[in-house]
A and B are shown apart, each in its own frame.
Chain A
Amino acid sequence: MLLALAAAATISVLVTVGIVVVLVEEGALFFTDVPITEFFTGTQWFPLEGKFGVLPLLNASIVIALIAAVVAVPLGLGSAIYLSEYAPERLRRVVKPVLEILAGMPTIVLGFFALDAVTPALQMVFPGLGLYNALAAGIVVGLLITPLISSLSEDAMRAVPNSMREGAFGLGATRRVVSLRVVIPAALSGIVASIVLAISRAIGETMAVTLAAGTIPNLSWNPLEGMQTITAYIVQVSKGEATRGSLQYDSIFAVGLLLFAVTLVINIIAVRIVRKYRTVYQ
């Protein structure tokens, strides 16, 4: 019986091994046909014409994640400071779960929201904005990761002992000064880690960006243009019934491997930040 339980625990390890093996094995098939240098330096991604330069896809993922961070960092940190330092306890207990609804929202819903509401609203500000654009995608992904930042940052801020606040208040500091100069520096490792984790989540986000940013690879930093992310490319190929063994089929594993590596590195950085800079207060 104990062996059965232990076997169940090892399955989780097998899943990781499975992910790595599958991505590397199928990715390797892809790289026998496409040189790895061309993959990382090529600036054109036209699979049907045999042009496999991943930069447009990677660039789009980064652009959208950055827009999301620009949206989510102020919103998330502002909410965290409000909830941790200003809000009365009763209000906090209502606001926090409501914010977390956003984190549990299926991403397909956010994609619909981007196409149906955000882009039309943005078109009023930027006339001539196309239906598919990185800005709307970035904004809704930002909304998705805001509660991640606010929740984790708030936890870090609440872990700062009250005696530190009281000490600062006793020296004549105001609430703003206590928040900005005492609590935030003390909770900085947790706050930075929450932002890094949120960006990793934004890079792996799929449905909202597939719907809102379109399916045309475009190496551009202009957020008003449509662009295809790594995840959106995987969806596009999967929808089209690429036959097993074809170069297109292998290509989704190659870009999947890149995506997995990028998010893994970001997550490891987040863990390192917490471990290295955390101050433990009793």
Chain B
Amino acid sequence: MSTLETPSPPPPPSATATVRPLAKKRARPSEQLFKWLVVGLTAITMAMLIWLITSVLIRGAGSISWSFLTDKPSSNPAKAGFNSALRGSVVLMMVTIFFAWPIGVAAALYLEKFAAQSATLTERRLRERLTTGRVSGLGAGWVHARLWWLRIRPRVVHLIDVNISNLAAVPSIIYGLLGLAIFVGVMGISKSLLAGGLTLAVLILPIIIIAAREALRAVPISIEQGAMALGATRWQAVRSQVFPAALPGILTGTILAMSRAIGETAPLIVVGGVVFSTAVPSLNPLEAGNEALLAMPLQIYFWTDQPQASFQAIAAAGIIVLLATLLVMNLVAIILRNRYSKRW
């Protein structure tokens, strides 16, 4: 009990002792000090955030204009615009989502709704088929293979689980190296928006899987069981009941994953991101394989890296555009969640 503070000794009794109300008791200085310490530390963190945002706003607000959004890049900071970078980011996001979303959602559906289900019924049915001797030869081999798969499935699923959470913690620049070696090196895709988009797709795949699984888990099992009790197969129940109910949650997670991808710089530089180009990429995602890899964060990096103060100003303006995009994406995610999320 030495860890607890000993209460101060009671005041000596006197004839006129009055009962002092507890609430009026002054807190000990050490208590006050500790409270102000934690309040202060929280305040410092918030103050740093405010400092960051105001310093960017002050530096960049003067350079924000309509022509900044519509002009091509230029080596003259007064004329340089953000249009190519904006276009590049839009195409990148289209490519990223095109590859990452279907794969991520499919993986989540499998892991959450099919692989995790108990297999006793299927197993019994398969064993019956073997014992009744209705199958032979190749057929029996197939049944044995399925039984073996059912036996090792929980371990495989656990392995995939661990693997996905580990992937989410891999530094993003490592994904850049992967993209450089596989998409550019092995597959021979040029250092383009397509290669960049594929790399970002791999980067956000674990994030989408984790978010989609959480959304699927939030749908009560009774929905699925109800559908199956009415005669639906598990596939039908998942497709027409569980998936639509989980969709708003999945989309929210997807938007948050995209907001991670749109701010990524390092993997794009490694895959061959162009930091300076006067090209204006087409908005057609089918052309992504032929367009130079340009994106908002790359352009900001190039400008920040220049020593002249005038480039710092347009870098800040670019950051304002990037942060505004992120803000809009997050607002959409919040609205989606509040509007369509169901309380079961």
Measured between C-beta atoms, what is the minimum distance from A198 to chain B in Å? Answer: 11
Q: A20 to nearest B CB, angstroms? A: 10
Check A107/B265 contact, CB under 8 A, given A9-B160, A15-B202, A22-B181. Answer: yes
Residues of B within 8 A of A189 (CB): none
Give per-residue flags for A104-123: 1 if the beta carbon is below 8 A from chain B beta carbons, else 0.
11111111110111000000
A5 touches B109 (CB 8 A): yes
Q: Which of A33-41, A52-60, A168-176, A219-227 contacts B (4 or more CB under 8 A)?
A: A168-176
Quote the shortest CB–CB distance from A74 to chain B (angstroms). 6
Q: Which residues on A sit within 8 Å (CB–CB) of B44?
A: 75
User: Are A1 and B304 in touch, CB under 8 angstroms?
Assistant: no
Is B205's CB within 8 Å of the partner chain A? yes
Chain B, Cβ-Cβ closest to A101: B49
On chain B, the residues within 8 Å of A164 by CB distance are: none
- Report whether B31 and A108 are in contact in the complex, using a CB–CB cutoff of 8 Å: no
Which of A99, A176, A256 touches B45 (beta carbons < 8 Å)?
Answer: A99
Nearest residue (CB) in A for B111 is A9
For A177, the chain B residues whose CB sits under 8 A away are 3-5
**Prevailing SS type, chain A contact patch:** helix
In the assembled complex, which residues on chain B have CB atoms less than 8 Å from the CB atom of A43?
none
| Chain A residue contacts of B4, Cβ below 8 A | 168, 171-173, 177, 181
Contact A173 B167 (CB under 8 A): no
> B166 contacts which chain A residues (CB < 8 A)?
16, 264, 267
> Within 8 Å CB of B266, what residues of A?
107, 206-207, 210, 231, 234-235
Q: How far is the CA of A99 from the CA of B48 in the complex (A)?
A: 10
Give the residue of A1, A108, A146, A210 whose beta carbon is less than 8 angstroms from that of B297: A108
Q: Is the CB of A239 within 8 A of B172?
A: no
Q: Mark A70-83, 1 if CB is under 8 A from B, else 0.
A: 00001111110111
Is B177 in the interface zone, CB < 8 Å from A? yes
A112 with B110, Cβ < 8 A, contacts A16-B167, A235-B173 known: no
Within 8 A of B (CB), among A157-208: 168, 171-177, 179-181, 197, 200-201, 203-207
Q: A12-B164, A117-B55 are in contact. Are A112 and B38 (CB under 8 A)?
A: no
Q: Are A95 and B167 in contact (CB under 8 A)?
A: no
Q: Judging by beta carbons under 8 Å apart, are A82 and B38 in contact?
A: yes
State the total of A-B contacts with C-beta under 8 angstroms. Answer: 251
Docked complex Cα distance between A38 and B56 (Å): 44
Which of B163, B167, B171, B235 has most chain A Cβ within 10 Å?
Answer: B171
Q: Mark B255-299, 1 if CB is under 8 A from A, else 0.
A: 000011011111001101001000000000000000000000100
Segment 114-169 of A: residues with Cβ below 8 Å from B: 115-117, 143, 146-147, 150, 168
| A5-B110, A176-B35 as given contacts; A74 in contact with B41, CB under 8 Å | yes
A260 within 8 A of B: yes
A5-B114, A15-B202, A263-B170 are known contacts. Are A98 and B46 too (CB-CB below 8 A)? yes
**B305: A residues at CB distance < 8 A:** 211
CA distance A158 to B271 in the complex (A): 42
| B63-71, B214-222, B244-252, B311-319: which lies at the interface | B311-319
- A-side contacts of B37, CB under 8 Å: 78
* Given A106-B263, A267-B169, also A256-B110 (CB < 8 A): no
Residues of A with C-beta under 8 A to B169: 197, 200-201, 263, 267
A108–B178 CB distance below 8 A = no
Give the distance to chain B from A69, nearest Cβ to Cβ, in Å: 15
Partner of A234, one of B55, B103, B270: B270
Contact B300 A108 (CB under 8 A): yes
A interface footprint on B234-248 (CB within 8 Å = 1, 0 otherwise): 010000000000000
Which residues in B have their C-beta under 8 angstroms from that of A81? 38
State the B residues within 8 Å of A (CB).
1, 3-5, 7, 27-28, 30-31, 34-35, 37-42, 44-46, 48-49, 51-52, 55-56, 59, 102-104, 106-107, 109-111, 114-115, 159-160, 163-164, 166-167, 169-178, 180-182, 185, 202, 205-206, 209, 235, 259-260, 262-266, 269-270, 272, 275, 297, 300-301, 304-305, 312, 315-316, 319, 322-323, 326, 330
- Besides A18-B182, A82-B41, A263-B171, 13 more A-B contacts (Cβ < 8 Å) are A8-B107, A78-B40, A78-B42, A106-B264, A106-B265, A106-B297, A143-B45, A143-B49, A172-B5, A172-B7, A176-B30, A197-B169, A267-B166
Pairs across A and B, CB under 8 Å, 18 listed:
A7-B106, A15-B178, A77-B41, A95-B46, A99-B49, A108-B319, A112-B304, A112-B319, A113-B55, A116-B56, A146-B45, A204-B170, A206-B172, A231-B171, A235-B173, A235-B270, A252-B270, A263-B169
**Smallest CB-CB A-B distances: 9 pairs:** A204-B171, A78-B41, A106-B263, A8-B106, A5-B110, A206-B266, A82-B38, A176-B34, A9-B107
